Amino acid sequence: MDRREFIGIGVAAGALVAAQPARAQSPAPGERAARSQKTFAAPGQVAVVTPNGSTLPWRRSGNVKVGHLIAQEVEHEFAPGLEATCWGYNGGTPGPTIEAVEGDRVRMYVTNRLPEATTVHWHGVLVPSGMDGVGGLTQRPIAPGETFKYEFTFNRAGTYMYHPHYDEMTQMALGMMGMIVVHPRAPRGPRVDRDFALMTHEWKIRPGMRRPDPNEMSDFNVLTFNSKSFPATEPLVVGRGERVRIRFGNLSAMDHHPIHMHGYYAMVTATDGGAIPPAAQVPETTVLVPVGTTRTVEFVADEPGDWAMHCHMTHHIMTQMGHGIPVMVGADHRRIDRSMHGVVPGYMTMGHDGMGAMAKMNMAMPRNSLPMRATKGPHGSIDMGGMFTIIKVRDNPDTEDGSGWYQAPPGTQADVASAAELQADGIDPNA
Ligand SMILES: [Cu+2]
């Protein structure tokens, strides 16, 4: 195959996309993925953006789209300060989003560069049994060094996922997963202006370690959207009045993620089982994304602002440092500090007034760990990490680089109450 054949093909659109490396460099925090990603969709439908991720390029071979997944070890940065050796596809975790159009015939080559066997299961995609990727049941596992060929037709539009079905516990815990988006050949429902794919995931990485622990069952301490922890999660920059679609996937080991959206409610329009009929769609401000499913939501972004979107399990917006520490809330820290100063000068009990203030401290941290100080926001520290991102609704989304903050119009922002205001409304803070 020569270079000219190495092109993306949008079958229905006929849109050709230039060759790109298997993995675009992860954009810096705040940098938008939209410009760097070469994606395509069917006519009248926008391409999917995978924040912090990439989209699989296709080669053309007759009427077949040919893709190549390489299962391999990858060095991955979860957020500045925390890197780990993970397993993924085509240089990253999650693997590239597979984007196709209903009716596309695809041939997927899977090369195994891992030290153990693997397979790829096309979760939710209706494929012939022998293409289902279940090690031992539907195929011989792909040995290290081998390349297998899968071939099937994406005969239903929807949001699906791919992941190994051999030593699942280890391979998925180490980061092997990806999203699959199949556009309908003809658009259905209202046209959307933005289309995003976000894979939720959970990891156990002990502070200072460089390997996620695949044996962990309950105490996960790194929570991610597309394998990034806030503040490294790219914001979703959208235009005021635009219709936005977000496709969530969950291949976590053990936890369902209730993803809460500020500023909006969204209609849940599809699962990995297919589209939900309009009469059965449910409005939610928190959409539960159970393990092993996808949930697709749509909303109209008619309210400008910086809107948090995050898992509502509070430990899932924590960093590693929130785990395994004693309860100190309400403790008389002065006595403890006094007795400790004899042995550890400068000792400081933490957490007695709650943990929020720790976000501001520049404490020395174990190497390769995510501190609790999180990131600087426009009004102080944002003391959240993990599975947290921001939807930035702007009047001019295409000229925004995503790094700026919303300026609330006068009179529309919470602030300290003045004495005059308190008096006028009969509020006595000392009552
Ligand atoms: Cu969660």
In a domain, 377, yes or no: yes
Residues 250, 353 within the same domain? no
Residues 340, 272 within the same domain? no
Asked if 58 contacts 45 with a C-beta cutoff of 8 angstroms, the reply is no
Taking the centre of ligand 1 as the mean of its atom positions, its distance from the CA of residue 195, in whole angstroms, is 22
| Cis peptide leading into residue 231 (ω within 30°) | yes
Residues 210, 332 within the same domain? no
Taking the centre of ligand 1 as the mean of its atom positions, its distance from the CA of residue 53, in whole angstroms, is 20
Domain of residue 126, residue span: 3-311
Residues 76, 195 within the same domain? yes
The total number of structural domains in the chain stands at 2
Taking the centre of ligand 1 as the mean of its atom positions, its distance from the CA of residue 292, in whole angstroms, is 13
Q: Which of 311, 337, 361 is the last residue of a domain?
A: 311
Asked if 377 contacts 405 with a C-beta cutoff of 8 angstroms, the reply is yes
Residue 383 is predicted with a pLDDT of 84
Q: Which own/partner pairs from 267-270 qualify as long-range (CB within 8 Å, at least 24 positions apart)?
A: 267/297, 267/298, 267/299, 268/295, 268/296, 268/297, 269/189, 269/245, 269/296, 269/297, 269/298, 270/158, 270/159, 270/294, 270/295, 270/296
In a domain, 357, yes or no: yes
Residues 74, 176 within the same domain? yes
Taking the centre of ligand 1 as the mean of its atom positions, its distance from the CA of residue 388, in whole angstroms, is 10
Residue 241 is predicted with a pLDDT of 97
Tokens of 190: 């209202």
In a domain, 89, yes or no: yes
Q: Which of 252, 281, 311 is the last residue of a domain?
A: 311
In a domain, 412, yes or no: no
Cα→Cα distances 73→114, 175, 211, 254, 395, Å? 7, 9, 11, 23, 41
Taking the centre of ligand 1 as the mean of its atom positions, its distance from the CA of residue 179, in whole angstroms, is 18
Taking the centre of ligand 1 as the mean of its atom positions, its distance from the CA of residue 368, in whole angstroms, is 22
Residue 202 is predicted with a pLDDT of 96
Taking the centre of ligand 1 as the mean of its atom positions, its distance from the CA of residue 370, in whole angstroms, is 17
In a domain, 426, yes or no: no
Count of beta carbons in the 10 Å neighbourhood of residue 426: 7
Residue 402 is predicted with a pLDDT of 82
Asked if 265 contacts 218 with a C-beta cutoff of 8 angstroms, the reply is no
Taking the centre of ligand 1 as the mean of its atom positions, its distance from the CA of residue 232, in whole angstroms, is 17
Tell me whether strands 16-17 and 8-9 are parallel, antiparallel or unpaired: antiparallel
Taking the centre of ligand 1 as the mean of its atom positions, its distance from the CA of residue 171, in whole angstroms, is 20
Taking the centre of ligand 1 as the mean of its atom positions, its distance from the CA of residue 410, in whole angstroms, is 35
Residues 182, 285 within the same domain? yes
Residues 117, 164 within the same domain? yes
d(C-alpha 371, C-alpha 241), whole Å = 37
- In eight-state DSSP terms, residue 154 is -
Residue 110 is predicted with a pLDDT of 98
Taking the centre of ligand 1 as the mean of its atom positions, its distance from the CA of residue 158, in whole angstroms, is 23
Q: Which of 283, 311, 339 is the last residue of a domain?
A: 311
Taking the centre of ligand 1 as the mean of its atom positions, its distance from the CA of residue 286, in whole angstroms, is 11
Residue 34 is predicted with a pLDDT of 40
Taking the centre of ligand 1 as the mean of its atom positions, its distance from the CA of residue 348, in whole angstroms, is 31
d(C-alpha 308, C-alpha 286), whole Å = 12
Taking the centre of ligand 1 as the mean of its atom positions, its distance from the CA of residue 316, in whole angstroms, is 5
pLDDT in tens, the chain (431 residues): 333 333 333 333 333 233 333 333 343 333 334 433 444 566 778 999 999 999 999 999 999 999 999 999 999 999 998 999 999 999 999 999 999 999 999 999 999 999 999 999 999 999 999 999 999 999 999 999 999 999 999 999 999 999 999 999 999 999 999 999 999 998 888 899 999 999 999 999 988 889 999 999 988 999 999 999 999 999 999 999 999 999 999 999 999 999 999 999 999 999 999 999 999 999 999 999 999 999 999 999 999 999 999 999 988 998 776 666 666 677 777 777 777 777 766 666 666 666 665 555 555 667 788 766 568 899 998 888 899 999 999 999 988 888 899 999 999 999 999 999 999 999 999 99
- In eight-state DSSP terms, residue 341 is H
Q: What is the CATH number of the domain that holds 22?
A: 2.60.40.420
Residues 279, 337 within the same domain? no
Asked if 98 contacts 162 with a C-beta cutoff of 8 angstroms, the reply is yes
In a domain, 72, yes or no: yes
Taking the centre of ligand 1 as the mean of its atom positions, its distance from the CA of residue 252, in whole angstroms, is 9
Taking the centre of ligand 1 as the mean of its atom positions, its distance from the CA of residue 135, in whole angstroms, is 29
Residues 13, 156 within the same domain? yes
Residues 138, 279 within the same domain? yes
Ion ligand 1: residues, Cβ under 5 Å:
257, 311, 313, 316
Residues 254, 370 within the same domain? no
Taking the centre of ligand 1 as the mean of its atom positions, its distance from the CA of residue 120, in whole angstroms, is 25
| Confidence (pTM) | 0.85
Taking the centre of ligand 1 as the mean of its atom positions, its distance from the CA of residue 290, in whole angstroms, is 10
In a domain, 298, yes or no: yes
Taking the centre of ligand 1 as the mean of its atom positions, its distance from the CA of residue 313, in whole angstroms, is 5
Taking the centre of ligand 1 as the mean of its atom positions, its distance from the CA of residue 256, in whole angstroms, is 6
In a domain, 57, yes or no: yes
Residues 50, 197 within the same domain? yes
